[in-house]
Chain A
Amino acid sequence: DAKTTQPPSMDCAEGRAANLPCNHSTISGNEYVYWYRQIHSQGPQYIIHGLKNNETNEMASLIITEDRKSSTLILPHATLRDTAVYYCIVKWNYGGSQGNLIFGKGTKLSVKP
Chain B
Amino acid sequence: GAVVSQHPSRVICKSGTSVKIECRSLDFQATTMFWYRQFPKQSLMLMATSNEGSKATYEQGVEKDKFLINHASLTLSTLTVTSAHPEDSSFYICSAREIGGSYEQYFGPGTRLTVT
Residues on A lying within 8 angstroms of B by beta carbon are 38, 41-46, 87, 93-95, 97, 99-106
Contact = CB atoms under 8 A, between A and B. Distances in A.
B103 interface: yes
From DSSP, what is the main secondary structure of chain B's interface residues?
Answer: strand
Contacts of A105: 43
B19 interface: no
- What 9 pairs across the A-B complex have the smallest Cβ distances? A43-B107, A103-B44, A103-B43, A44-B107, A43-B109, A43-B110, A43-B93, A43-B108, A105-B43
Contacts of A94: 103
A93 B107 contact: no
6 contacts: A43-B4, A43-B93, A46-B106, A95-B103, A103-B36, A106-B43
B54 interface: no
Contacts of A99: 97, 103
Contacts of B91: 41
B68 interface: no
Nearest to A92: B103
A93 B43 contact: no
B27 interface: no
B112 A101 contact: no
Contacts of A106: 43
B18 interface: no
A94 B49 CA distance: 15
B105 interface: yes
B110 A41 contact: yes
